[in-house]
A and B are shown apart, each in its own frame.
Chain A
Amino acid sequence: MTISKLVLIELWKRKSQLITGLLAITLGIAVIVAIQSVAIVSEQNVARNLDNLGANILVLPQAASIDDYYTCDIDAPTLPMDYVERILNSTIAGVDNMSPKLTRRVEVDNQSVVLTGILPKSEIASKPLWQSSGLLGAQLTTACTPGKSAIKSHGLEDEKLKRKAIDTLYIDDCLAGSQVAKKLKLSASGRIKIMGKEFKVVKILPETGTVDDDRIFANLKDVQALLKLENQVSAIEIMGCCNAISEGLLGQLRNILPDTRITTIGQIVSTQIETNQLMKKISLVMLIIIFFVGGISIGNYIWANVNERKREIGVLRMMGAGRSTIYKMFLLKALILGIAGGILGFLIGTLAGVVLGPYLAGIIVKPVYLYLLWSVLFSVAISLTGSLIPASLAANFDPYSNLQED
């Protein structure tokens, strides 16, 4: 027999009271775990969607129109290419990749086509259909792609997450969009003359269903020379970290590039990130509520237990148990309740997330085992905090008066 064993026996013999005591804290932890489990998958979905779209921030000259995110670089005024350096040299976090480009409508064989100058190595070929074009080089380093374990645990082992850059696009070479290739009857390894300069068509790009199908892509240096716009670009596409965008990346970019217009894929970023932020806020509110409700509930349970066991406390004191022994006895009970509440809350919350996630949020939720640690720590903190006062009062009971209680 030890004091710990005494506590465990008492807990076991009063199971119904134990369940009542655990209820509030368990359900509270369960709600937070469920919300967080759904939120983390939702965040990863946003990141994946943005990855699939490629660049998600566009830096344009101040005078450019941004009626359409995908075509606003065409015939836009220009900005100095030095701006790329300015971003690179800044301490802004969350900029994964930049691709400066210069775009103009030009006449080819009496037909209007869009000529876009791009820099190989930095141009993002993240549009899913480009993946099969054979143009891909090394994988770009990303700042906010979920960690390997997170990706694995959520089944996001998607090739499209691996953002790659176009490896080579030599001077005098060009790539043709599927529509413009049809319109100008171009074929791979064929030749095309643009503004008096001859280019070799190295690849016909697969159809994407976007404005890129009507573009011809050539090396940025070639296009700048051809258009006599050395060191000028019409847009800088940035692949920004999803979380960094929500945390103010656009504002930071505006600070270092004050004479530009900076826009993003508003719909996705604003709605999905707002939803995620809302879930985070709900979790925080729940956390605060549970801290108080759970703490009061456990404190109330321990206080009721103390009152019920006044005589037992008196007997233990009579037999030589010190105040500290009584204090530790009730805190140990609170600790056990906290651990049990945390584990149960994690299990119930995870189960709720896994079962309800597909129905309520349309996403597949898998257990996040790190939450088990947080659940237990949080639950123990609530439980111990709530029990400090009742345990202290129990330790300071007058043993004699409690021995008289019958």
Chain B
Amino acid sequence: MILKGENIIKQYHHDGGLISALDHVSFTVGKGDFVTVTGPSGSGKSTLLLSLFGLIRLTSGTVIFDGKRIDDISDRHLADIRKNSVGYILQSFALIPYLTTIQNVMIPLALRKIPAKEQSKRASEILDYVGLTDRMHHLPRELSAGQQQRVAIARSIVHRPQIIMADEPTGNLDPTLSLEILDFLQKINRENKITIMMVTHSPVAAEYGTMKLHLKEGKIIKT
């Protein structure tokens, strides 16, 4: 087991009332699993993904990561966990527009204060791995959508995380590119034994999961 959620509740105040985005969600993810989280819009998929490592604070519930409880630790410690053990991939790629491909990939290493030479070496290797060696010094706007998402993937794995949290990584891509990215994520999962938790709308993408969670109105209705 690498990640476990127990009775996770996330409630928002809205128009004087309480809305439950996550309602007593419990699950267990094993090391090396490829978890897909599906469900209709507003079912709480992204909220679940972003709340597990503190990007959204939970109302209640327990989160255990790598054997340690992390739902009650400080922002600083959660940031340290994200920095060292988690990689994120978002639908909108979330690249920094004024940095080149290789500079974007080096950011997680810079945050860990890895020496510049080592950063450059590791970023180059990862960009070679995702097939972007010839685009290392391009700005994001000079890349296609598929290439930008591959940069985001490279950035999410460059610091060798234990788990990748992907929020609709193919949402902005056409079907062909989507399959390319999904195949790539599967390759990372299989070759590097990195656990992946991926939120998706797509039934095709959901089929890549070795474990499937389906959410509806904040509750897991199928695993």
Contact = CB atoms under 8 A, between A and B. Distances in A.
Interface of A: 1-3, 5-6, 9-10, 13-14, 311-312, 314-323, 325, 399-400, 403, 406
Given A14-B98, A403-B55, A323 B75 contact: yes
Contacts of B86: 320
B76 interface: yes
A321 B96 contact: no
Interface in B28-85: 50, 55-56, 75-76, 79-84
B106 interface: yes
Given A315-B96, A400-B56, A320 B103 contact: no
A6 B80 contact: no
Contact of B76 (A9, A318, A322): A322
A13 B75 contact: no
B189 interface: no
A321 B99 CA distance: 17
A323 B55 CA distance: 13
Contact of A319 (B98, B99, B108, B116): B108
20 contacts: A1-B109, A1-B116, A1-B119, A6-B99, A6-B110, A14-B98, A315-B94, A316-B107, A317-B55, A319-B155, A320-B82, A320-B84, A320-B86, A322-B75, A322-B76, A323-B79, A400-B56, A403-B50, A403-B55, A403-B90
B98 A1 contact: no
B122 to A, nearest CB: 11
Which 10 pairs, one residue from A and one from B, show the smallest C-beta to C-beta distance?
A320-B83, A13-B98, A1-B106, A320-B82, A1-B110, A322-B79, A315-B94, A400-B55, A400-B56, A318-B88
A13 B98 CA distance: 7
Contact of B94 (A6, A320, A323, A403): A403
A9 B104 CA distance: 12
Nearest to A10: B98
A244 B1 CA distance: 82
A322 B54 CA distance: 12
A318 B109 CA distance: 14
A9 B94 contact: no
B105 to A, nearest CB: 9
A9 B111 contact: no
B111 A325 contact: yes
Contacts of B112: 320
A10 B103 CA distance: 12
A11 B98 CA distance: 10
Given A6-B99, A399-B55, A319 B106 contact: no
* Interface of A, helix, strand, loop or mixed by DSSP: helix
A311 B97 CA distance: 11
B206 to A, nearest CB: 23
B21 to A, nearest CB: 12
Interface residues of B, number: 30
Contacts of A403: 50, 55, 90, 94
B69 to A, nearest CB: 19
Contact of B92 (A5, A318, A406): A406
Contacts of A400: 50, 55-56
Contacts of B110: 1-3, 5-6
B108 A318 contact: no
Contacts of A2: 110, 116
A6 B97 CA distance: 12
A319 B76 CA distance: 12
Contacts of A406: 92
B98 A320 contact: no
Nearest to A315: B94
Interface in B89-130: 90, 92, 94, 96, 98-99, 103, 106-112, 116, 119
A318 B94 contact: yes
B94 A311 contact: yes
A9 B116 CA distance: 16
Given A1-B119, A10-B98, A321 B111 contact: yes
A317 B99 CA distance: 17
Contacts of A320: 79-84, 86, 108, 111-112
A274 B187 CA distance: 82
A311 B91 CA distance: 13
B218 to A, nearest CB: 16
A323 B90 CA distance: 21
Given A319-B88, A320-B79, A403-B90, 9 more contacts: A1-B116, A1-B119, A6-B107, A317-B55, A319-B107, A320-B80, A321-B79, A322-B79, A323-B76
A260 B107 CA distance: 79
B55 A312 contact: no
Contacts of A323: 75-76, 79
Contacts of B56: 400
A9 B80 CA distance: 25
Contacts of B81: 320
Nearest to A399: B55
A316 B110 CA distance: 11
B55 A9 contact: no
A1 B111 CA distance: 9
Contacts of B94: 311, 314-315, 318, 403
B82 A318 contact: yes
A323 B108 CA distance: 15
Nearest to A406: B92
Contact of A9 (B79, B82, B84, B98): B98
A37 B2 CA distance: 68
